[in-house]
Chains A and B, each alone.
Chain A
Amino acid sequence: MQPILSLEGVAKSYGGVKALTSGALDLYPGQVTALLGENGAGKSTLVKIITGIVRADGGRIVLDGGPVSIASAEHARSLGISAIFQEPVVFDALTVAENIFITGRPQKRGVVDWPTMRRRSREILAELDPGIEPDMVLGRLSVAQRHLVQIARALSNDARIVIMDEPTAALSHREAEELFAITRRLRDEGRAILFISHKFEEVFALCDRYAVFRDGAGVGQGMIEGISSERLITLMVGRPVDQVFPKQTVPIGREMLRVEALGRGQEYEDVSFDVRQGEILGVYGLIGAGRSEVMHALFGTAPAETGRIVLDGETVTIRSASDAIARGIGFVPEDRQMQGAHLRLAIGDNITLPSLGRTTRAGFLSRRRERAQAGPLAQSLGVKMSGLDQRVEELSGGNQQKVVIAKWLATSPRVLILDEPTKGIDVGAKAQVHRLMGELAAQGVAIIMVSSELPEVLGMADRIMVMRRGLVQAVVARAEATPERIVRLATDA
């Protein structure tokens, strides 16, 4: 069989930085190809080249046996290439119909033909989700439905090549299953699908082929059948990875935080749990289970309406983040770029921000004390940087996360909350973050770790609290936790 699309030795540099050196990829009609690779392996650059967002510096792109040069997003579309992006790339103030036909609105006598646009939208949506109406304003749809609108857009373009960039990142289990069913249908209709995901279960359940990228180069392609996940990981990282989590056994101390019957509006209710010194409490659940909302209550950024918080034996009221910080609670939020780090500030300024009170001399901030505080922390966490004055936005995701964690260490917290601490950071940095959590626990910090990654929760937590739809389903001890049990508690099954 001949591939629809073939990339050979494709290269791309931004400034002096080589994002892609020799990208190789073959896409076959009627097959789903998984694109695998660590962050920074060149996957997104490859997608941008295929979809015409950026142009390759070198290499060959062959479509239907003939070489092409993809000049623009519009050109890519006219060649039958369509993409569904991770963060739905849609217009939430426009209607569903217009979102579907944004790239090619039907026209009559030179003006937009709304009735045809609505009718054709309804026809396409009927196959995907008849509950979505063409006239609905997109902002009112769920994340999963927005993905479907993007798929409808691809279908409206008669796309032969559909690229899905981590489409399940924000979906529940059931929504992901529905998306897979649709993906299989698109495949069986003869389309070539490129599926980017970090989740191996998905890759094995859905994909026919794989292509692995490492450091900007294609390092292997082949059929999924007959390959093991260990082999794929080895290809991705170039070395076998120690998949064992660096869980340390530390003595569990006295109860540091207890939460009783916390509730807030329609978000969660009757949430009770406790964490002890030196303990890591894992909080597992699907996206939308109310986990992050409870953490925001503990940190005061969205206080609970009912219930009680007891910190080290004392009932406390936490109405704001400054309350929480004053009481020794640190919070590493899920959205690193928006809530965690101040991207445009220097590393040093980021680290000392919540503990500026400790770096003053006679009431004025002391630059020297700030550096004395930030320097050792950044160093002990292994932040790869040119110096404390470097801006955080110039760091990789993993190093940004280390900076965010460092800033809480500067406050010497009694309780540290980490919300998806290793989301979107590469395997090496992940292990470092895990090791760091272990060290903190050994120092007696009570740690709450929210995570959607089952291996991480099972590997790191002493106890696992499972939430579903705003309620605590169970708190399971490490010895009794099995993947099946945790997933069953978290899902409707």
Chain B
Amino acid sequence: MRELIAGIMSGRALRTREAGLLGLNLLLLVAIAPFFPAFLRPVNLAGVFDDTALLILLALGEMLVLLTRGVDLSIAANLAFTGMVVALLNQYHPGLGLVPVLVLSVLMGAALGAVNGLLVWLLRIPSIVVTLGTLSIYRGAVYLASGGKWVNSNQMSPAFLGLVRWHAGGVSMLSWTAIVCAALVAVFLRRSILGRNLYAAGNNPAAAAYAGIDVGVMQGAAFLIAGAIAGLCGYLWVSRYAVAYTDVASGFELQVIAACVIGGVSISGGVGSVGGVVLGALFLGIIKNALPLVGVSPFFQMAVSGIVITGAVLINARGSRASALRILERRPA
């Protein structure tokens, strides 16, 4: 019996959070169903997932940084820069095929992430300041690389464009990438020493140092992985929307952080789960796809996600207050 209680107690805060989010997502679908039954058709749902896959991927990377008490504002700029570079590579060397494009996107993204990581780790500059700087640098670099020109779909090779559109089991390759990445990150966070140390470093940096965990290295590692994911997303994004230009995914980092916060990732570090992040991203994805059907403007979508974020923060604050002090003895009735 005690075993059972402990089991329920252990992850309770997190699990109720995820169950609640799942419920919220389902509620949203149920609310949409009477008006647009077609929205719930598997084909459409697969489409919604495909449309949210990039948000999920980036949010997974952002979560790693948030877990270590950092924040990566440069994640979308990294995507844009890497996306432009691989698009140019493909434009001028279409014969190389897809493998160099994929390898380059991941390596270049990781390198850009490593720049953030090294600045945060070695110079101990707060990550919000570092990535505010690199956000502008990377964005500016897109312009430098492209000379301000667009790379359009007719300048991309069929293989470059085809991968994300290839379907398996009714689900796009882009969606599969998000699913596989989510699974990998989940296993990484749960079962690898490095993954566990990310939680420890963010939860209590002082205690982590005493436990022989180098908090700076953990932050650097989180930025590196987040960068690699952002780089891969650079290719995926450019390929999916079949265009590369300076303002690709401009401001998208805020949606990414929003997905994490809605998904229960703590801005103060050490708390967060893959399940929560995926559900948080899907929530935003469903709103984004459903509201236009109801004829609501995209600006209202922003307000809705804002309300949900504020609500999530309020729920968090109440949760921590629930464990208030108890001093008085309970008296016999």
Which B residue's beta carbon lies closest to that of A492?
Answer: B329
Let me know if B327 and A94 touch, CB within 8 A.
no
Which B residue's beta carbon lies closest to that of A113?
Answer: B191
- Give complex CA distance A134, B6 in Å: 8
Per-position contact with A for B241-285: 1 when CB-CB < 8 Å, else 0?
Answer: 000000000000000000000000010001100000000000000
Which A residue's beta carbon lies closest to that of B269?
Answer: A93
Let me know if A73 and B327 touch, CB within 8 A.
no
- Give complex CA distance A112, B323 in Å: 31
- Give complex CA distance A469, B325 in Å: 12
- Give complex CA distance A137, B199 in Å: 13
Let me know if A266 and B328 touch, CB within 8 A.
yes
Question: A334: CB under 8 A from chain B?
Answer: no
Question: A98: CB under 8 A from chain B?
Answer: yes
Per-position contact with A for B207-224: 1 when CB-CB < 8 Å, else 0?
Answer: 111111100000000000
Set of chain B residues within 8 Å of A268, measured between Cβ atoms:
327-328
Set of chain A residues within 8 Å of B326, measured between Cβ atoms:
266-267
Stretch from A101-109, A176-184, A185-193, A405-413 at the B interface: A101-109
Per-position contact with A for B5-20: 1 when CB-CB < 8 Å, else 0?
Answer: 0110111110000000
Q: Given the known A-B contacts A73-B212, A133-B3, are A140 and B328 also in contact in the complex, defined by CB atoms under 8 Å?
A: no
Q: Given the known A-B contacts A90-B204, A137-B10, are A269 and B212 also in contact in the complex, defined by CB atoms under 8 Å?
A: no
Question: B136: CB under 8 A from chain A?
Answer: no
Let me know if B192 and A111 touch, CB within 8 A.
yes
Which B residue's beta carbon lies closest to that of A48?
Answer: B210
Which A residue's beta carbon lies closest to that of B329?
Answer: A469
* Interface size in chain B (residues, C-beta < 8 A): 37
Let me know if A91 and B200 touch, CB within 8 A.
yes
Question: B24: CB under 8 A from chain A?
Answer: no
Question: What is the minimal beta-carbon distance from B292 to any residue of chain A, in angstroms?
Answer: 38
Set of chain A residues within 8 Å of B203, measured between Cβ atoms:
91-94
Residues of B within 8 A of A (CB): 2-3, 6-7, 9-13, 187, 190-193, 196, 199-200, 203-204, 206-213, 266, 270-271, 323-329
Q: Which of B9, B207, B266, B328 contacts A89 (CB 8 A)?
A: B207
Question: What is the minimal beta-carbon distance from B124 to any residue of chain A, in angstroms?
Answer: 17
Let me know if B190 and A112 touch, CB within 8 A.
yes
Question: What is the minimal beta-carbon distance from B162 to any residue of chain A, in angstroms?
Answer: 35
Stretch from A206-214, A286-294, A366-374, A457-465 at the B interface: A286-294
Let me know if A103 and B212 touch, CB within 8 A.
yes
Set of chain B residues within 8 Å of A269, measured between Cβ atoms:
328
Per-position contact with B for A59-88: 1 when CB-CB < 8 Å, else 0?
Answer: 000000000000011100100000101000
Question: What is the minimal beta-carbon distance from A185 to any residue of chain B, in angstroms?
Answer: 24
Set of chain B residues within 8 Å of A110, measured between Cβ atoms:
192
Question: A123: CB under 8 A from chain B?
Answer: no
- Give complex CA distance A98, B11 in Å: 13
Question: What is the minimal beta-carbon distance from B14 to any residue of chain A, in angstroms?
Answer: 9
- Give complex CA distance A53, B193 in Å: 21
Question: A135: CB under 8 A from chain B?
Answer: yes
Per-position contact with B for A377-421: 1 when CB-CB < 8 Å, else 0?
Answer: 000000000000000000000000000000000000000000000
Question: A483: CB under 8 A from chain B?
Answer: no
Which B residue's beta carbon lies closest to that of A89?
Answer: B207
Let me know if B204 and A91 touch, CB within 8 A.
yes
- Give complex CA distance A112, B325 in Å: 35
Let me know if A293 and B204 touch, CB within 8 A.
no
- Give complex CA distance A102, B211 in Å: 7
Question: What is the minimal beta-carbon distance from A85 to any residue of chain B, in angstroms?
Answer: 7
